[in-house]
Structure 1
Amino acid sequence: MKKLYSIEVIDDCENTILLPADASIPANLKRVAFGTIKVECSIALQKFGGNVVRISEDLLQTLKIPPVSPVLHVFFEGDILYLGPLVGIFTSGFGSGEVKPIGDRSIIFSKLLAVQNTAGVTAFLFGAQHINWDAGTINGLFYHDGWKRFEVPFPDVIYDRIPNRRTENMPKIKRVKERLQKDYLIPWYNPGFFNKLDIYERLLQENSIADFLPETHPFTSFSIVERMLGNYGHIYIKPKNGSLGKGIHQVIFDKKDQNYYMRFKEQSGEKRLLKFDTLEKLVQHITAKQNISNLLVQQGIHLMRSEQKPVDFRVHTNKNKQGIWEVTAIAAKIAGAGSATTHMNSGGIVKAIDELTDLDKNHELLKEKLISSALKISKSLEKHTEGTIAEIGFDIGIDRKGRVWLFEANSKPGRSIFKHSSLKKDDLLTRRLSLEYAVFLHEQSIKKPEDIYR
């Protein structure tokens, strides 16, 4: 009975829910659930078919179904009929404003919540301060012709959108996550942030994935930098937990003039290229500003080029409502002039693959190679990562010989690539699937809880 139903209110009966006449339901149903609220009620078939579930006004109020839930899925197990899923999007950074209740990120979340009907979920935004533990309810933020607040039960599923590691490690946030997961057994997806070195070491365990990984080590000694420069000609020194290209240094050894060059971006945004006559001086320059224990050293790759500039790719993968990985977006990123990376905030340009010029490789073959690699890595990451992940943003490169390289995997990928006009459909798809996966997770928690809570 996994299909979408619209909700209608009936006022000529009490404590009643009516399902379509053609609905195949067991005869023993006697309770209905929405979120963590379960109540006994009368469940019957109506005279007409179609995709409409009719609920009495009093039952609607008891279940705390908000007036912005016109479409839901219906599941049943044992004697319970489940309406949902009710999806809580957990984040932080709330303010007091009604127009932008979560500051500049309000527009991002309004777009995410705008696809909930298509996904067949009821989704809301909440933070630690919105939880009423005694009542078992949340004063959730909904988006429907503007931001509105409604009191709802604890959700069936929680989608983690904590914005950064610092917030994630706050004791209050940790306590909320632990309590909702352990005490209330609410499935939680996309928790945490990937640690670059940890991900590298985990993926290295699989031979089929190890071929995608550039040599990477923690920055433990000067000799590692020296050896890798000798092997590869150029390397990257980057933060273990960095994002958006911040703190990345490209180091190049020029064999002709026997000098070392370092390309990076200052905190002010200014791009720099510095020359050093010894590697010691170069390393000292980096470690004077960054703690060496927070850095890693990575093999440099001679990337394929477009418009005479290095190009790599952002590939998004999402799990759908069947719990299967699929590639939802691919964008090419062309490095900006004088930049150590292809990030947009360093002058990088986003293009659709079909827009790339002067490439030796066929565009369709290029897409197939990226899709195949991203799906293989997604499945491996899922196997080697704690928690339930449902979306990943990959930075993938292809060298001049056609070999695929994984540079980074992000559990909470940025969305700047979707500003490109040709990626609007992909933007919509990634948002829809990030909520649709909650349908799968909710059904699994009902029918196969051992797979969720193992």
Structure 2
Amino acid sequence: MTRTKVGISIQGTSIYLDDRTVVLSEAIAKKWKVPTNQTITMRFGSAKQEVKVVSAATSNSLRVNPTLASKIGLYQGARLNLHYRQNTSTLSIGPLIGVMISRVYAGSKDRPFGAITAFCKEMTDACEQFGAMVIFFPPNEMHANAQTVNAYSYSNGSWSKKTFPIPNVIYNRLTSRRFENRTNVQQFMKDVKARYATEIFNEKYLDKTEVFQALRKDNSLHDFLPESYLFKNYQMLKSMAARHPVLFLKPITGSLGKGIIRIRKEPGAGYVCHFTNLSGARKQSFPSLTTVFHALSGKLKAQRYQLQQGLDLITADGNPVDFRALVQRGATGQWAITSIVGRIAGTQHFVSNLARGGSLTTVSGALAKTSFASATRVSITARLRKASLDIAKGIETQIPYHFGELGIDLAVDKTGKVWLLEVNSKPSKDDNTPLNHERKIRPSVKQIVQYARYLAKF
């Protein structure tokens, strides 16, 4: 697609400029065949305004009156893409990208969005590079039948809150199911999709049961799926324990490795359960599977769990290793792998999350610590990549929601077989950072902006 970037220049009334007249560079007006001195529609996000275009010998700029700029949410110096559709006489500038965030700390100038402030600034920088504008807003700014949204943007060296049109594209970064499930948030998403054709991606949290049930429908993915069920009763536990020496119970809505329970059959000594906690894992022994079930029954009433086959994972220095693939859609809308990193569980832990003391390594670094031959390591790396893409496409096909990025957790057992552990629809903006920190804007952030631009047809 041909693209033209313009700088937004906001200037007071002149002989040309009232709130219904805009001045566009002559070369751009000519390139896009924008008619001058006649009324057309200018669009930014959901905002539409009838304007008359005047051309001038300026370089790559669109000059607008302050009244018009504040009416549709433009600010001085913004760099946006522009295109003109002759069939609808519409001059579109944008895209305007909205990011739904969990919280705003209004009293904190330096970190208004807490831990994700640096990511929000990085998004802003990427938007500047690709010709887009990004705004950030929490759940209490989302309303039914909204025509505008009060949101935060970064300009002239600081964050400020302004009123903007409904964005062309919205990226859901709400990191709490409680916020995501609020009535006003759900209604806002439904309304903007219906009224303004706003595209929303990463629409919802995925739970573990939903993922495994959906992917089981795709025969080509069966090889990656450990035996896994929504845990219901003792009979299910007994049946799984007869087939697998190690089982895992995972909260279906859990994250960061919280609440995972490992059940291991000990030869001639009953069962040992390990319960995750922040300092490591608490160990408890039981004489029989019945006593395990009774000990867990309180937890099972309070929380739903996924019961999963345990895997004999490869280790690095005696600690289990798994892999996090960040799979994203980008400028062409196709799934691609942005990064895959190895994650080594911390000492005394059996989950690899960084929040639980895990550490990052490269895929080759993790595999180098195993006894696999060099050719096998190359083959495993290729299989990790294939599994990542196949699983992302499986989610897209089998789950009727729109996702633009997925964190896919994979494991390799001691025979070299690749397994799916879980899929995260809100991958952390730190956990999957590539190991070199030299680039100012991470590739993962660029992909988000390019995918949003693709969705908005800019």
Q: TM over 0.5: same fold?
A: yes
In structure 2, distance between residues paired with 1:106 and 1:212: 36
Q: Quick one: structure 1 residues 393 and 179, their matched pair in 2 at CA, closer, same or farther if it must change by over 3 Å?
A: same
Q: Counterpart amino acid of 1:53?
A: S
Question: C-alpha deviations, 1:384-403, integer Å up to 9, x for none?
Answer: 12221100001001112222
Count of equivalent residues: 440
- How many Å apart are 1:104 and its aligned residue? 3.7
Which residue matches 2:95? 85
- How many Å apart are 1:10 and its aligned residue? 7.1
Q: Quick one: structure 1 residues 242 and 162, their matched pair in 2 at CA, closer, same or farther if it must change by over 3 Å?
A: same
In structure 1, distance between residues paired with 2:282 and 2:10: 67
Which residue matches 2:32? 25
Question: C-alpha deviations, 1:29-49, integer Å up to 9, x for none?
Answer: 82211111112223466557x
In structure 1, distance between residues paired with 2:78 and 2:445: 18
In structure 1, distance between residues paired with 2:205 and 2:436: 29
SS in 1 for 2:422: strand
Please, which of 330, 334, 345 is the counterpart of residue 320 of structure 1? 330
Which residue matches 2:341? 331
Q: Quick one: structure 1 residues 47 and 67, their matched pair in 2 at CA, closer, same or farther if it must change by over 3 Å?
A: closer
Larger deviation, residues 270-279 vs 415-424: 415-424
- How many Å apart are 1:367 and its aligned residue? 3.1
- How many Å apart are 1:26 and its aligned residue? 4.3
In structure 1, distance between residues paired with 2:5 and 2:26: 9
- Counterpart check, 1:185 vs 2:197: yes
Q: Quick one: structure 1 residues 292 and 280, their matched pair in 2 at CA, closer, same or farther if it must change by over 3 Å?
A: farther
In structure 1, distance between residues paired with 2:132 and 2:288: 59
TM alignment of 1:391-410, pairs within 5 A: 391-410=405-424
Which residue matches 1:382? 396
SS in 2 for 1:94: coil
Q: Counterpart amino acid of 1:9?
A: S
Which residue matches 2:76? 67
In structure 2, distance between residues paired with 1:426 and 1:5: 22
In structure 2, distance between residues paired with 1:84 and 1:130: 22
Q: Quick one: structure 1 residues 54 and 112, their matched pair in 2 at CA, closer, same or farther if it must change by over 3 Å?
A: closer
Question: C-alpha deviations, 1:2-33, integer Å up to 9, x for none?
Answer: 32513142755321242462664245682211
Which residue matches 2:147? 136
- Counterpart check, 1:163 vs 2:175: yes
Question: C-alpha deviations, 1:164-198, integer Å up to 9, x for none?
Answer: 11111222222222222223332211111002111
Q: Quick one: structure 1 residues 337 and 98, their matched pair in 2 at CA, closer, same or farther if it must change by over 3 Å?
A: closer
Identity of aligned residues (%): 23
Which residue matches 2:120? 109
Which residue matches 2:132? 121
Q: Counterpart amino acid of 2:174?
A: I
Which residue matches 2:315? 305
Q: Structure 2: which 5+ runs fail to align?
A: none
Larger deviation, residues 282-291 vs 373-382: 282-291
In structure 1, distance between residues paired with 2:10 and 2:449: 29
Structure 2 length-normalised TM? 0.87
TM alignment of 1:235-314, pairs within 5 A: 235-255=247-267, 257-266=268-277, 269-291=279-301, 294-314=304-324
Which residue matches 2:61? 53
Contact residue 213 and residue 405 of structure 1 kept, 8 A: yes
In structure 2, distance between residues paired with 1:288 and 1:378: 35
Larger deviation, residues 274-283 vs 320-329: 274-283
SS in 1 for 2:331: coil
Question: C-alpha deviations, 1:99-155, integer Å up to 9, x for none?
Answer: 133334433433333322123310010134446889833222012423122322221
Q: Quick one: structure 1 residues 70 and 210, their matched pair in 2 at CA, closer, same or farther if it must change by over 3 Å?
A: same
Which residue matches 2:9? 9
In structure 2, distance between residues paired with 1:73 and 1:287: 60
In structure 1, distance between residues paired with 2:82 and 2:131: 6
Which residue matches 1:41? 51
Larger deviation, residues 299-308 vs 372-381: 299-308
SS in 2 for 1:378: helix
- How many Å apart are 1:208 and its aligned residue? 0.7
Contact residue 321 and residue 439 of structure 1 kept, 8 A: yes
In structure 2, distance between residues paired with 1:395 and 1:373: 10
Q: Counterpart amino acid of 1:7?
A: G
Which residue matches 2:455? 441
In structure 2, distance between residues paired with 1:133 and 1:287: 41
- How many Å apart are 1:406 and its aligned residue? 0.8
Contact residue 200 and residue 213 of structure 1 kept, 8 A: yes
Q: Counterpart amino acid of 2:390?
A: K
Which residue matches 2:234? 222
In structure 2, distance between residues paired with 1:180 and 1:407: 34
Q: Counterpart amino acid of 1:25?
A: W
Contact residue 88 and residue 159 of structure 1 kept, 8 A: yes
Contact residue 93 and residue 102 of structure 1 kept, 8 A: yes
Structure 1 length-normalised TM? 0.88
